[in-house]
Structure 1
C-alpha cells in the first residue's frame, strides 16, 4: 500500500516536472523574440512611452527615405551620418529594395499631396517597422491628411511638439571667434518677397508700414531678384528686415529669420506665429514682433528711434557673443537626426489631419 509520504513525494515530483516544462516554454518564447525584431530593451519598454532610437548590441538604426523631397537626391555613400554629421549608429538608404529590412521609413508629404508618390500599402509591412510623416510646410500646404489615419507612427516637422523636430535653424553655443557685423546701413527697412498675395497678413502688414516709411523691396514681385551670393550682403545694408512668414502657423519660423535676418546682420521684424513661439527658440532682445505694437505707425516710430540710437540698436546683437545660428539645409542631416532622439515605441497617429492643423 502506498504511504502518505510516498504520495506526497510523487505529487512534488509531478509539480516539479510541470514547472520545468513551463520554464522551458517561456525560455523558448524569450529566445524566439530575442532572435526576432525586438531587443530585450524593447521588450521591457514595450508598454512604456519611449526608447532610444538606436538599437542595442551596436546594431545601427536603419532608415529608408521612400522618396527624396522635391526630387533632389543627395549621395548616401559610406557612413553618411558619421562622416558628415558625427552621428554614429545610423544607416540611411534610398533603395526601396531595403523596405522589408529597415527599422524606419520616411515619407515626405509634398510628393504625397501632389500624387507624385504613393504609400507602399501593397507591401507587407514588418511588425516593428515605424513610418515617419515628414513635412516642413505650413499646414495649409500639406493637403488632406485624413486618408493617412492610423498609418504613421511618428511626425517629423519644424514643430516643437513633433516626435522628431527639424527646425529651419537653431541656436548653438559659440565655439570660436565672434563674427563682427558690418554697420554700413543705408536703408531703414527692407523686404525680400517673390510671391505677393494681398490676402495674406504679411502683405497687409507691409501695406500698413509702407504708409509711414519707405521700404526697400527685392525679389521677383518687384522684378528685383537677388542671387544667393547677393542676398545677405544686400540685406546687411538695412537696419531692419521684414522676416514675415507666409503662414501664421504654430512654430512656423523659417529661413526668413534664421538666415535672411540673423545671418545678414539686420534686426528682424517678425510676423508669423505668436511672440511666445518666437521667444521659445530665438535669443531675447534679438527680434521685434509686429503684433507687439498697437499700430504700424507706432512700430515705424520705434524703428526710427532705434536707428538713431546706435547703442540701443546694437543691443539687438549682444546675443551673438554667446550664440551662433545653425541652419539645417541638408536633407541627409535631417534624416540622421532621427537617430539622436528618443522615439515613442508604441504610437500611431489616428488623426494626423487634426494634429497638423492645430
Structure 2
C-alpha cells in the first residue's frame, strides 16, 4: 500500500545502538538531569485540573486596564527586539508588508538603538527562552529603557507543549499578547476564511469553473500524504497514521519520514498530487489550527485532521475529515477509504468554495491597526503565566523532554 516509513529522530533513532544496561543508565541520568534542570530554572508545569481551573477565569483576571489619556499614534514604529527562532529573517521578510498588504503608515525596524522612538517593542517567546541560559542567570536581558506609553508585545505562535518555564517572572512586563489564540490582543491565526457576501455567492453559483471542478480526477496519486518535520508525538499522530494505513495508502515525507533529498521544494511539489493531506498537529491546543490545514485547502485537497477540541469557529465546516468525529480511528479509516474511491463523495468536500474564500492574514497588519486605534485602552498583564496556561492544552510531557534532551 506504499506505506511511508516513520523515522524518529534523536533518542528514538539511537536506541537500537545502545546496550540495555547503558540504556537504563542513560534513562536514569536523563531523569536526574531533568529534575536538576527543573529546580535550577524553576520550570513548573500545571496538571490538567490546574489548567482547567485557570481556564474558568476571565480575561480581566490576567491583565489590568490602566486609566489615563488615550495614546495617539499617527505613524507607529515597531521594533523587533528579538530574533525569530534564532534568526532576524522575520524582519527582512516582513518589512515590506506595511507597504503591500496594509499601508497604514507603520514602520518596522530591528535596530535596537531606536528603542527610544519605538511605539511597540516585540519579543518572541522562544527566543527569550533560548537566551535565558546559565551564563545569563536564566534570565533574558530586557532593555533598561522603557517609555511610559510604549507597548511591549509578547509574541508566541507555539502551542503550550512547546513552552518551557514559569512565566511569573514576567508579571507586569508585557502590555499586549500576539498569538494564534482568539483571546490575544493581536489575533494572528495561521490562516483564515471569510464568508462570501450575497453578491459573491451569486457569482460563485454561476461560475462554470467551480461548477465543473473535478478535484477527484485532478489527483494523480491515490491515498494521502503527510509531511512531518517535528518528530515529537504529543498528539499521538504516528499511532493514528498507522491505523489509517490499513485503509488507504499513506506516504510520509519530511525529516520524520522519507526526507526531502532535493530540499523542501521537492517535497512541496509532491503534496498536491494526493487526495488527502494528513494535517495532524503536534499538539492538542485550543485555537491551534496551523498552516497544515489551510495550505491543504489551497492545494485542493481534503485535510484529515485529529482535533479533539472544537475548531469550527476557525476552520470551514464541511471542508475536512476529523478522525475524532467517528466512534474509533478504524471507523474513520473505513469512511476515508470510501471517500478515497467515490468521486461524488470526494468532490462534496469542496462545496465550501461556494460559500467561503480563503483570505490572507497578517499579524503585523493587525498590530499596526491596533497601535493606531486610540480607542484601545492601555493595559498591562499582571498574570502572564496565568494567561499562557489558560489555553486549554496539554502541558509538557516526559516524552517531549526526552526528545529535546536527546
Q: TM-score, normalised by structure 1?
A: 0.74
User: What is the match of residue 224 of structure 2?
Assistant: 189
1:64 and 2:79 correspond: yes
User: What is the match of residue 305 of structure 1?
Assistant: 338
| Cα offset, 1:245, TM superposition | 0.2
User: What is the match of residue 377 of structure 2?
Assistant: 345
1:113 and 2:129 correspond: yes
Please say if residues 64 and 95 of structure 1, whose CA atoms lie closer than 8 Å, have aligned partners that are also in contact: yes
1:281–1:206 Cα change, 3 Å: same
Q: Gaps spanning 5+ residues in structure 2: where?
A: 1-64, 134-138, 391-406
Q: Structure 2 CA distance, aligned partners of 1:132 and 1:194?
A: 29
User: What is the match of residue 363 of structure 2?
Assistant: 334
Matches within 5 A, 1:35-74: 47=67, 55=72, 59-70=74-85, 71-73=87-89
Report which stretch shifted further, 98-107 or 317-326.
Answer: 317-326
Q: Structure 1 CA distance, aligned partners of 2:193 and 2:84?
A: 25
Q: How many residues align?
A: 302
Q: Structure 1 CA distance, aligned partners of 2:97 and 2:257?
A: 41
1:267 and 2:302 correspond: yes
Q: Gaps spanning 5+ residues in structure 1: where?
A: 1-44
Find the residue that maps to 1:305 and give its secondary structure.
Answer: helix
Q: Structure 2 CA distance, aligned partners of 1:352 and 1:78?
A: 27
Q: Structure 2 CA distance, aligned partners of 1:101 and 1:68?
A: 20
| Cα offset, 1:303, TM superposition | 1.1
Please say if residues 63 and 105 of structure 1, whose CA atoms lie closer than 8 Å, have aligned partners that are also in contact: yes
Please say if residues 65 and 107 of structure 1, whose CA atoms lie closer than 8 Å, have aligned partners that are also in contact: yes
Please say if residues 84 and 90 of structure 2, whose CA atoms lie closer than 8 Å, have aligned partners that are also in contact: no
| Cα offset, 1:280, TM superposition | 0.9
| Cα offset, 1:273, TM superposition | 5.4
1:248 and 2:270 correspond: no
How far does the alpha carbon of each residue in 1:261-291 deviate from its partner, in whole angstroms, 9 at most, with x for none? Answer: 21222211112451x22x1122221011121
Please say if residues 246 and 272 of structure 1, whose CA atoms lie closer than 8 Å, have aligned partners that are also in contact: no
User: What is the match of residue 193 of structure 2?
Assistant: 171
Please say if residues 169 and 258 of structure 1, whose CA atoms lie closer than 8 Å, have aligned partners that are also in contact: yes
Q: Structure 2 CA distance, aligned partners of 1:132 and 1:356?
A: 14
1:183–1:228 Cα change, 3 Å: same
| Cα offset, 1:230, TM superposition | 3.6
Find the residue that maps to 1:191 and give its secondary structure.
Answer: strand
How far does the alpha carbon of each residue in 1:234-270 deviate from its partner, in whole angstroms, 9 at most, with x for none? Answer: 22222222100001011111111111x2122221111
Q: Structure 2 CA distance, aligned partners of 1:273 and 1:103?
A: 39
How far does the alpha carbon of each residue in 1:316-336 deviate from its partner, in whole angstroms, 9 at most, with x for none? Answer: 1122245443455xxxx5323
- Aligned-residue RMSD, C-alpha: 3.2
User: What is the match of residue 218 of structure 1?
Assistant: 253
| Cα offset, 1:298, TM superposition | 0.7
